[in-house]
Amino acid sequence: SVCVHKDYRNQGLMQQMLNYANKLLREQNCDMAFLSGKYERYHHFLYESSNQCYYVSYSASRNINPDIHFCKMEDGNNEYVDYSLTLYEQSELYIKRTKKDFIDNCIQWCKEGYFILHQSHIIGYLVYFPLENEIEEIKVEDKKQLKGIITTFMAYKQLDKIKRKILNSDYDKENTSNKMIYNKNNKLFQIIHLEKVISVFLNYRLSHEILKEGSLGIKVIAYGTFTIEVYEGKAIVSNKSKHFDL
């Protein structure tokens, strides 16, 4: 994120620094940029929230299942990893990962990964982030077991309260009486080379259907003017303007 000493604020330094950083990113041919900070502060510089979501709050309960146990991912076996990876890949959108990458992603950045066991049989996994006291991810085959598993996990960790993150894409699938709080995550991203992104989407579409051949000019606010050419089953996108300062 960008920080300016209080004695030098309101002089446009943040704008200068971000414009200079974006200039370097483009010169180095980077496609995307990421930073952490408040959405409201960086939205003007074309940064968008990478993970808009809801949070569901849970309180301690006597609804504890004695047959549910938790095993740290570092102590699990291949059967646990294989099953959890299969659950992970059932998501509508996911990043293809090896077993090692999957485990590393669940326990990096001070996170704790757990396999969920029912009478010693693997039934799912969850990722807990202690610094925010939140369940960042939880996957089980039977969604009806979620609440019982979460309250049992709270007893396991001796927690009075906990929150669970729900991505926007999963909101409609939720069936919970708990109150949901909407949140724009502070993990932000900006597309540097929009023409590459447009090209990827168009060529993906061309792999499924036929688009009319020809050229089209479009103007995207703050990004510039682009020319799109479709010819012989391929799409070529070029940026015709190079002014990006905001």
Mean model confidence pLDDT for the chain: 82
Residue 6 DSSP label = G
Task: Report d(CA 150, CA 170) in Å as an integer.
Answer: 18
How many helices (H) and strands (E) in the chain? 6, 13
Instruction: Tell me if 50 sits within 8 A of 42, measured CB to CB.
Output: no
What whole-number distance in Å separates Cα of residue 54 and Cα of residue 75? Answer: 31
Q: Tell me, yes or no, if the pTM score tops 0.85.
A: no
Which pLDDT belongs to residue 238? 83
CB 114 within 8 A of CB 101: no
Is the confidence at residue 185, as pLDDT, over 60?
no
Per the CB < 8 A criterion, the answer to whether 225 and 199 are in contact is no
Q: What is the DSSP string of 128-174?
A: EETTTTEEEEEEES-GGGHHHHHHHHHHHHT-SEEEEEEEGGGGGG-
Percent share of the chain, pLDDT over 90:
31
Contacts of 109 (CB under 8 A, 6+ apart): none
pLDDT digits (tens, 9 = 90+) for 192-246: 777 777 887 787 777 777 777 888 888 776 667 888 888 878 888 887 655 444 4
Query: What would the pLDDT profile of 81-116 be if each residue is shown by its tens digit?
Result: 999 999 999 877 677 889 999 999 899 888 999 999
Question: Among 5-9, 32-36, 103-107, 156-160, where is mean pLDDT lowest?
Answer: 32-36
| HSE value, Cβ hemisphere, 13 Å, CA-based, for 99 | 10
In angstroms, the CA 189 to CA 221 distance is: 17
Q: How many angstroms separate the CA atoms of 139 and 222, rounded? A: 40
> Alpha-carbon distance 89 to 80, whole Å?
14
